[in-house]
Amino acid sequence: MTISLKVRVGGFIALVFTVLAVLCSLFFASTSRRSLEREVRARGTALSEALARAIDESLAAENLNLIKQVEDIVHSDDAVLVQVFSTLWLGVAAVPNEQLNEPPDAAAVEHFKRKEGPATFVVTADRWTDIYTPVLLDPHDARIRKMLIGYIRLRISDVEARRTINRAVFATIGFAAVLSLIAMFVLNAIIGKSVLRPVLDLHQAILRHKQGEFPAAVKLAGAQELRELSAEFNRMSSALREREERLADEKERLAVTLRSIGDGVIVTDVEGRVTLLNRVAEQYTGWTTPEASGRLLPEVFAIVSETTGEPHPNLVEKVVRTGQIEELANHTILKKRGGGEMAIEDSAAPIRDRTSQTIGVVIVFRDMTEKRRMEEELLNAEKLRSVGLLAGGLAHDFNNLLTGIVGNVTLAKLYLPADSKAFERLSEAEQATRRATDLTHQLLTFAKGGAPIRKVASVLGILEESARFILSGTNVAAEFNFHPELWCVEVDAGQMSQVFNNLILNAVQAMPNGGKIWIDVSNAVLADGDVPTLREGAYVRIAIRDEGTGIPAEHLPRIFDPYFTTKQKGSGLGLASSYAVVERHDGHITVESPPGLGTTFIIHLPSSGKNAAALSTGEQDVAVGHGRVLVMDDEEIVRQIAGEMLAALGYEVALVRNGQEAIESYLRAREELRPFDVVIMDLTIPGEMGGKEAIAGLLAIDPQVKAIVSSGYSNDAIMADYRAFGFKGVITKPYGLKSLSQTLRDVLHA
């Protein structure tokens, strides 16, 4: 039990005053007793001497009235015994008479035998004092000495005196006690006010400091020393309060900084026990700061090797041992509390005090999941770019070969009756080459994208061709529902075919046990806001619906993300590329997938303003013509078949292999006054001048030149926006007799 300072000081003061009162009382009692003894002795001595002088003659004369004389002389209440002895110490008279024969004190007898020392002899007992005085007879003659004739014993009682002294002592003690209490309370009040109160105020202020509070200044009171102590404490308290406020501000700034940091931060002591986590670290580890405080780092920050699954060495021990910044090896996994893993990278650094001693360790780590995903996407993009380069070269060469095939097939059909078997087989071969052409276009679009080469077309034929191509050999059937007066659209048929192929293929894969695909195509007039990102206007709406199980709701927001797929062997690029193609056509694609009711993809494409019925879906006649045509291509097979087809169409043809030769031939023909009516140029010629460069030279010679750009790279920007580069027409490889004749007719009669 702790006794307060006030109680201890009060108790000490009370003890001091009590001791002083007791000592004073004892001193007074002792003094009074000694004074009583002196008084009794002096009074008894005087009385006994007076008695001795009074009875000397009566004792010498053996007067029988001696007792009466003694009683008359000794009448004091405290004289309890008077004995008169002869020189032989025989009792002669006594008052009271019953004690006549009480023998004298041996010490007194011995004293008077020695005849030395004082004339009287005193014997002190507990309650009385005996005074022995010799009785001398005075002869009344100076020449004769006084003669000893006997002794007197006078017994004086001190009982009453003692009672009187005791009453006086008790009265004195009581008075002293009262004075002591008064003095104690007064002194206690004075000390309490001048000493204890300032000290206790300081004590209370110190206790509040220990509790983290900073009270107002302590009042300056008491002695000068206490006032100086209080003033110094106030200065220290003020300085401490200011430092605590600065520390609190620094802690708040640190907390704000830690909260603002996008990386996880964990702080430990040198023993590896966690002291702090920022908000990101709490999210990553699954531990809060109160839960993690005091725990060892490996328990909170459980990291293992991604490749071996083995726990990593304790970072704190390594940093404390080396005093250097340490970084984790690559492929580190953080195991979250409650399950889950995260790929991270981190570093640990020592925390040092002013003396450069390590007092803790700070670990900073970040989530590498997104970075890895981006790296994988970059790797995939790099692979895709490489595939694109390869695909572009293959498509270019393949389209050149297809141009030779298509050209020869269409030429051969000119020499056969339309109802012959050979004509039918050649038509099927021509259709097959058209499919091969679509595949090369899809390969280029998949690999590199590119602006669409738009032409007015009806989506009917593209959809039917895609459905027939994808559903061939499957247990899935397509059911079409077209608007009777469907509008046309302006699209790149190859790219749009790729979109429909992807959507129909997804529908087939969603129904492994077979089923139906409903394809609805209709006209739609939209107002602003009806469909996100689309402006007000006329559109063609295409809906492709399957009977599959549908797409989970949590996957719907991501199905158009690149590389997102739920298929075990899927690439995650089909829907992403379809989305990109539709967006490049200024359209919009969305998906609806109620649980258990299949999936519907809806596409809106801008209408061209023409009616699809106006377009002939049958074979168009070859448009013959006349005039001079210059053909520039680096592939001999293309030059030859192009020359033969143009000759068959009625044109005069000149063939060159690069852009420089084309410019020279065009200039020479103008000088010879036999100018070319049309120039057909291959866009790209490896290592030499192609159509892109040559058109600038031709325009410099003849601003009205009618040039047609041709290329197997159908995704080139020039092919999509040829007019901006000075061309009047475009024809993609491979091309046949009809497409060549129609393009020439359009350019010549524009």
pLDDT tens readout for residues 143-169: 767 788 888 888 887 777 677 777 777
- The average pLDDT across 97-112 equals 84
744, 623 in Cβ contact below 8 A? yes
Q: Per-residue pLDDT averaged across 426-440, rounded? A: 74
Distance CA 355, CA 487 (A): 83
- The better pLDDT of the pair 119, 568 is held by 119
The token pair at 402 is 């297809």
- Kindly tell me the sign of the dihedral angle through the C-alpha atoms of 680, 683, 686, 687: positive
| Whether the predicted pLDDT of 639 surpasses 80 | yes
Confidence (pTM): 0.47
Can you name the CATH fold of 368-453+620-750?
Answer: Rossmann fold (3.40.50)
- State residue 116's pLDDT score: 63
Peptide bond into 96 cis (omega under 30): yes
**Which of 30-39, 129-138, 186-195, 218-227 tops mean pLDDT?**
129-138
pLDDT tens by residue, 726-750: 999 998 888 888 888 989 998 988 7
Better-predicted residue by pLDDT, 240 or 625: 625
| pLDDT at residue 540, as a whole number | 93
Taking residues 548-567, what's their average pLDDT?
75
Q: Are 412 and 644 in contact (CB under 8 A)?
A: no
Residues linked to residue 124 through DSSP beta bridges, in sequence order: 129
Tell me, what's the pLDDT at 151?
Answer: 84
Q: Which residues contact 67 (CB under 8 A, 6 or more apart)?
A: 93, 94, 95, 97
Mean pLDDT of the chain: 80
Name the CATH superfamily housing domain 5-165: PAS domain (3.30.450.20)
What is the distance in angstroms between the CA of the first residue and the CA of the last residue of the chain? 114
Q: In this predicted model, which residue has the larger pLDDT, 643 or 397? A: 643
Quickly tell me which residue has 């996994």 as its tokens: 333
Look at 722 and 565; give whichever has higher pLDDT.
722
Q: What's residue 661's pLDDT?
A: 93
Q: What CA–CA distances, in Å, run from 4 to 9, 155, 711?
A: 9, 59, 104
- Written as one string, the DSSP assignment of 442-471 is HHHHHHH------EEE-HHHHHHHHHHHHH
Q: Domain residues of the chain, as ranges?
A: 5-165, 264-366, 368-453+620-750, 459-616
Q: Round to whole Å and give the CA distance between 60 and 660.
A: 191
pLDDT band of 617, cuts 50, 70, 90:
very low
SS3 label, residue 490: strand
What's the whole-number mean pLDDT along residues 426-442? 72
Structure confidence at residue 568 as a pLDDT band (50, 70, 90): very low
**Percentage of the chain lying above the pLDDT 70 cut:** 80
Please name which of 729, 699, 724, 726 lies closest in space to residue 711, comparing C-alpha atoms: 729
Assigned superfamily of 459-616:
Histidine kinase-like ATPase, C-terminal domain (3.30.565.10)
Query: One fold for both 5-165 and 264-366?
Result: yes
Please give the pLDDT value at position 219.
64
Bond preceding residue 484 cis, omega within 30 of 0: no
Q: Which tokens belong to 605? A: 């494409």
**DSSP SS3 for 703:** coil
Note the pLDDT of residue 619: 43
Q: Work out the average pLDDT over 56-64.
A: 67
Confidence of residue 438 (pLDDT cuts 50, 70, 90): low
Fold of the 264-366 domain: Beta-Lactamase (3.30.450)
* CB atoms closer than 10 angstroms to residue 475: 11
pLDDT in tens, 355-404: 888 888 988 888 887 777 777 767 766 766 676 666 666 666 777 777 77
Phi and psi for 490 in degrees, rounded to 5? -110, 100
More confident residue, 209 or 618: 209
β-pair type (476-482, 515-526): parallel
Q: Which of the pair, 322 or 244, is modelled with greater confidence? A: 322
Cβ proximity of 444 and 395 under 8 Å: yes
pLDDT of residue 385: 66
Residue 618 pLDDT greater than 50, yes or no: no
260-307 pLDDT, tens per residue? 777 888 899 988 899 888 888 888 888 988 888 899 988 888 888 877
The helix or strand, by DSSP H or E, that contains position 191, with its residue range, turns out to be helix 159-191
Pick 644 or 146 by higher pLDDT: 644
Give helix then strand counts, H and E, for the chain.
20, 24
**CA geometry: angle 652, 654, 659, nearest 5 deg:** 145
